[in-house]
């Protein structure tokens, strides 16, 4: 510690004077080299208003900092004052505040300061280079002697100066046989001429050269790859390093690989013929899913030519890219994904249903090379299957619908007739009743007629699974329609003690659709929501209705905090006869009819749910209705 303090005190103390960035650069440069220059910066005077140099002075732990020249009078006298090159103040003023014996390096001496700094840096660099060179030579010599590589050194007369242990072992020599001798002594005539020619070229050109050839070795000829490095001193080649690599096993492996390649070529030709003539869709992708080949079966099924799809992602062909990506990721992880159904979109827009199997091909280290996608077109077979199922279901629905229509329409006709009689009686004898009573009965009869018409519409919707109906299109105010649906369910809402949150977007426009069918849709969805809340009696039931429009579509959300829907059932709830309600409470017709109505009206319905927590149905309707009623979506037209 004493020695360090003494050393610090023996250094030349200096004061830096200047302004702004130039002063900061000088301060940083001299401080970084203070030890090598044997200096100590004791104070800094910055006559500008910049705070950067004050912060830098503090960070570098320099004792004194000031903004005025006058401060020099109260600071310890330095051994030297250095002024930056761009300092424009009067140097005479600076001298007044310094002892007479303190030298000043002004702007004219800045080149001297820079030269000193540069000289110190160059000397340090030379010292470092010298140490590195010595260490490099030491490590090189150690490497040559101990490396598990065959290394030798020759002079310009081609005499061996050194051959390491590994080279002696590989080539079958002893050290006394090698040092001081040439290849003419070691090898039979003509067996190492190629090596001599390589060394000669390296000596003459000074270039690093590499060549392969055969060298005699114990037991057999050795296929070798030799690299020659010229050794130069004072720009003159004085010898060569030789690095010998035994490539015998590599040569034999290449020979075997050549034979395997020939067999693979034959196999590939055979497989190409199979792929070319297969009726199944077969295409290959890289590990990122980009198509690399596209066989004739795929061209025929989808209508694309190879040039139109090669290089594109396989999802380009898929109707649901997310499903394909999940299947692709499964095959990448497990090596295969077999016998899944996938929907492809043909060039003309029609859907092709395929049974798809993916098989991953990897290299010997397990890295993925390509994915083989084998797809069998099952569209026709699935259409026949669906037609058969559809026919069986429609037969059952037709029988049921006929009976329902017959059993319900007759009582409805009687109810409608009675309502008419009541209306006639009100016209004839209504004056005997109070005005309020007349008004109540008139409204009740109008509502009764309306509900009779609605019931009739429901029976027609059941029959709509067998024959296609024409919708009664009319302008619709969505707010009025939803409020009317809630009014119809008012008794049910009170019975279930459910809170209805309704948020109607005033920007939703008047649109054309079938009001009776839409009323059936929303009453069904609201009734299902009420039923779902009843399944969770321990919490207060809540049903939320939200509407919005993006100009092209109208979106209606019906959400409840009821029992929710299991994830396995969410893809099936719109299927005919599928129900999640207890036995005796659901028929499996409601959501299927809702789905059928919305598709035929040009709309759609989606579901999201968390089992045990909530369910949300999103209904989408077009602002502009389709030109004609859409066909029943359960039919697949040939």
With a cut of 60, say whether residue 37 has pLDDT above it: yes
Considering the domain delimited by 2-121, tell me its CATH architecture.
3-Layer(aba) Sandwich (3.40)
| Mean pLDDT of the 391-413 span | 62
Q: What is the pLDDT of residue 311?
A: 92
Q: What is the pLDDT of residue 79?
A: 84
With a cut of 50, say whether residue 466 has pLDDT above it: no
Q: What is the pLDDT of residue 416?
A: 74
43 band by pLDDT with thresholds 50, 70 and 90: very high
With a cut of 60, say whether residue 411 has pLDDT above it: yes
Q: What is the pLDDT of residue 634?
A: 42
Listed residue (79, 82, 75) closest to 97, CA to CA: 75
**CATH 1.10.287 boundaries in the chain:** 383-461
**Range among 172-176, 313-317, 444-448 rated most confident:** 313-317
Q: How many residues does the chain have?
A: 638
DSSP string, 514-570: -HHHHHHHHHHHHHHHHHHHHT-TTS--EEEEEEEE-SSEEEEEEEE-SS---TTTT
Q: Are strands 291-294 and 281-285 parallel, antiparallel or unpaired?
A: antiparallel
What is residue 81's DSSP assignment?
E
Q: What is the pLDDT of residue 390?
A: 55
Q: What is the pLDDT of residue 102?
A: 84
Answer whether 166's CB lies under 8 Å from 151's CB: yes
Q: What is the pLDDT of residue 580?
A: 57
- Distance (Å, whole) CA 243 – CA 240: 10
CATH fold label, 147-246 = Beta-Lactamase (3.30.450)
**CATH 3.30.565.10 boundaries in the chain:** 469-622
- Enter the pTM of the model: 0.34
Q: What is the pLDDT of residue 286?
A: 93
Q: What is the pLDDT of residue 635?
A: 40
Residue 606 phi/psi, 5° resolution?
-130, 155
**CATH 3.40.50.720 boundaries in the chain:** 2-121
How large a percentage of the chain has pLDDT more than 70? 82
Residue-wise pLDDT tens digits, 78-100: 888 888 866 666 677 778 888 88
Residue 6 phi/psi, 5° resolution?
-65, -40
With a cut of 50, say whether residue 469 has pLDDT above it: no
Residue-wise pLDDT tens digits, 273-298: 777 778 888 888 999 999 998 888 88
- Distance (Å, whole) CA 452 – CA 436: 24
- Pick the range with the lowest mean pLDDT from 9-13, 52-56, 102-106, 435-439: 9-13
**pLDDT: which is higher, 501 or 409:** 501
Mention the CATH class of domain 383-461. mainly alpha
438 band by pLDDT with thresholds 50, 70 and 90: confident
- Distance (Å, whole) CA 400 – CA 576: 14
Q: How far is CA 565 from CA 529, 569, 591, in A?
A: 11, 7, 13
Listed residue (620, 615, 595) closest to 520, CA to CA: 595
Q: What is the pLDDT of residue 2?
A: 44
With a cut of 60, say whether residue 473 has pLDDT above it: yes
With a cut of 70, say whether residue 17 has pLDDT above it: yes
Angle at which helix 435-463 crosses helix 515-534, to 10 degrees, equals: 90
- Distance (Å, whole) CA 240 – CA 205: 12
- Distance (Å, whole) CA 59 – CA 40: 15
| Mean pLDDT of the 382-386 span | 68
With a cut of 50, say whether residue 529 has pLDDT above it: yes
Residue-wise pLDDT tens digits, 475-514: 999 999 999 888 878 878 888 889 999 999 999 999 998 8
Q: How many other C-beta atoms can be found within 10 angstroms of the C-beta atom of residue 568?
A: 8
468 band by pLDDT with thresholds 50, 70 and 90: very low
Q: What is the pLDDT of residue 261?
A: 81
Answer whether 454's CB lies under 8 Å from 520's CB: yes
Selected from 3.30.70.580, 3.40.50.720, 3.30.450.20, 3.40.710.10, the CATH number assigned to the domain covering 278-377 reads 3.30.450.20
With a cut of 80, say whether residue 572 has pLDDT above it: no
With a cut of 70, say whether residue 239 has pLDDT above it: yes
Residue-wise pLDDT tens digits, 335-347: 888 778 888 999 8
Q: What is the pLDDT of residue 630?
A: 54
Q: What is the pLDDT of residue 134?
A: 74
Q: Domain 469-622 carries which CATH code?
A: 3.30.565.10
**CATH 3.30.450.20 boundaries in the chain:** 147-246, 278-377
Instruction: Output the average pLDDT for the chain.
Output: 80
- Distance (Å, whole) CA 528 – CA 113: 90
- Distance (Å, whole) CA 517 – CA 454: 9
């Amino acid at each position: 510690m004493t020695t360090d303090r003494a050393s610090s005190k023996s250094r030349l103390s200096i004061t830096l004077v200047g302004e702004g960035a130039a002063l900061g650069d000088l301060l940083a440069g001299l401080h970084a080299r203070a030890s090598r220059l044997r200096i100590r910066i004791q104070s800094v005077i910055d006559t500008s208003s910049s705070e950067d140099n004050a912060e830098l002075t503090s960070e570098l732990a320099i004792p004194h900092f000031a903004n005025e020249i006058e401060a020099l009078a109260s600071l310890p006298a330095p051994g030297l004052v250095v002024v930056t090159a761009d300092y424009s103040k009067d140097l005479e003023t600076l001298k007044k505040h310094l002892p007479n014996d303190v030298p000043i390096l002004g702007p004219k001496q800045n080149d001297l300061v820079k030269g000193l700094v540069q000289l110190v840096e160059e000397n340090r660099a030379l010292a470092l280079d010298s140490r590195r060179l010595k260490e490099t030579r030491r490590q090189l010599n150690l490497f040559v002697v101990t490396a598990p590589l065959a290394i030798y050194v020759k002079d310009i007369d081609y005499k061996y100066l050194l051959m390491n242990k590994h080279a002696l072992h590989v080539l079958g020599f002893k050290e006394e046989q090698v040092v001081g001798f040439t290849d003419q002594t070691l090898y039979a005539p003509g067996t190492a001429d190629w090596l001599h020619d390589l060394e000669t070229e390296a000596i003459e050109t000074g270039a690093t050269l590499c060549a392969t050839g055969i060298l005699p070795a114990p037991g057999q000829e050795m296929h070798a790859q030799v690299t020659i490095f010229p050794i130069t001193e004072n720009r003159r080649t004085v010898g060569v390093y030789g690095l010998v690599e035994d490539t015998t096993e590599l040569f034999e492996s290449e020979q075997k690989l050549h034979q395997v390649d020939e067999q693979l070529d034959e196999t590939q030709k055979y497989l190409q013929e199979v792929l070319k003539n297969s009726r199944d869709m077969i295409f290959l992708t890289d590990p990122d899913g980009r198509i690399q080949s596209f066989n004739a079966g795929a061209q025929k099924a989808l209508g694309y030519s190879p040039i139109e799809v090669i290089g594109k992602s396989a999802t380009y062909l898929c109707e649901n890219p997310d499903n394909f990506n999940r299947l692709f990721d499964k095959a990448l992880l497990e090596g295969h994904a077999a016998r899944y159904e996938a929907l492809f979109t043909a060039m003309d827009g029609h859907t092709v249903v395929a049974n798809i199997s993916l098989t991953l091909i990897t290299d010997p280290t397990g890295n993925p090379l390509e994915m083989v996608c084998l797809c069998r077109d099952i569209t026709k077979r699935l259409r026949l299957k669906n037609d058969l199922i559809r026919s069986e279901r429609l037969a059952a629905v037709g029988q049921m619908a006929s009976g329902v229509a017959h059993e319900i329409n007759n009582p409805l006709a009687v109810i409608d007739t009675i309502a008419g009689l009541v209306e006639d009686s009100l016209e004839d004898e209504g004056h005997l009743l109070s005005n309020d009573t007349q008004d109540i009965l008139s409204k009740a009869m109008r509502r009764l007629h309306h509900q009779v018409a609605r019931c009739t519409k429901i029976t027609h919707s059941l029959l709509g699974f067998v024959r296609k109906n024409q919708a009664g299109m009319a302008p619709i105010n969505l707010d009025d329609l939803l409020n009317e649906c809630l009014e119809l369910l008012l008794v049910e809402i009170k019975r279930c003690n459910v809170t209805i949150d309704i948020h109607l977007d005033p920007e939703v426009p008047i649109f054309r659709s079938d009001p009776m069918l839409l009323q059936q849709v929303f009453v069904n969805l609201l009734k299902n929501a009420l039923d779902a809340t009843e399944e969770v009696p321990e919490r207060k039931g809540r049903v939320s209705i939200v509407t919005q429009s993006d100009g092209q579509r109208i979106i209606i959300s019906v959400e409840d905090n009821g029992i929710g829907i299991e994830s396995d059932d969410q893809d099936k709830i719109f299927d005919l006869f599928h129900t999640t309600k207890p036995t005796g409470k659901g028929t499996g017709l409601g959501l299927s009819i809702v789905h059928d109505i919305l598709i035929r009206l040009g709309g759609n319905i989606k579901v999201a749910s968390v089992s045990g927590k909530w369910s949300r149905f999103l209904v989408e309707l077009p602002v502009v209705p389709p030109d004609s009623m859409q066909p029943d979506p359960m039919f697949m037209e040939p």
